[in-house]
Structure 1
Amino acid sequence: MGELHSDCSRCHGLCCVALAFTRSADFPVDKPAGTPCGNLLADFRCGVHDRLRDNGYAGCTVFECFGAGQRVSQGPDWRDDPAAAEPMFARFGKVRALHELLWHLAEALALPGTEPVRADLARIRDQVDKAADDPDVDVGAQRSAAVGVLRAAADLARGRGPDLAGADLIGRDLRRRALNGASLRGALLLGADLRGADLAKADLTGADLRGADLRGADLSGALFVTQPQLTAAVGDVTTLLPAARTRPAHWR
Structure 2
Amino acid sequence: MAGHSKWANIRHKKAAVDAKRSNVWTRLIKEITVSARLGGGDAGLNPRLRLAIDKAADVNMPKDNVNRAIQRGIGFIESSNYEEVRYEGYGIGGVAIIIDTITDNRTRTVAEVRHALSKHGGNLGTDGSVSFLFNHVGQFLFLPGISEDELMEAVLEANADDVTTNINGGIEIICPPNNFIQVRNALKSRDFRAVLSGITMKPQTKIKVIGDDVVKLQKLLSVLENLDDVQEIYTNADIADQ
What's the TM-score once normalised by structure 2's chain length?
0.26
Structure with the bigger percentage of strand: 2
Query: Which structure has the higher relative contact order (CA within 8 Å, separation 6+)?
Result: 2
What's the TM-score once normalised by structure 1's chain length?
0.25
Structure with the bigger percentage of helix: 2
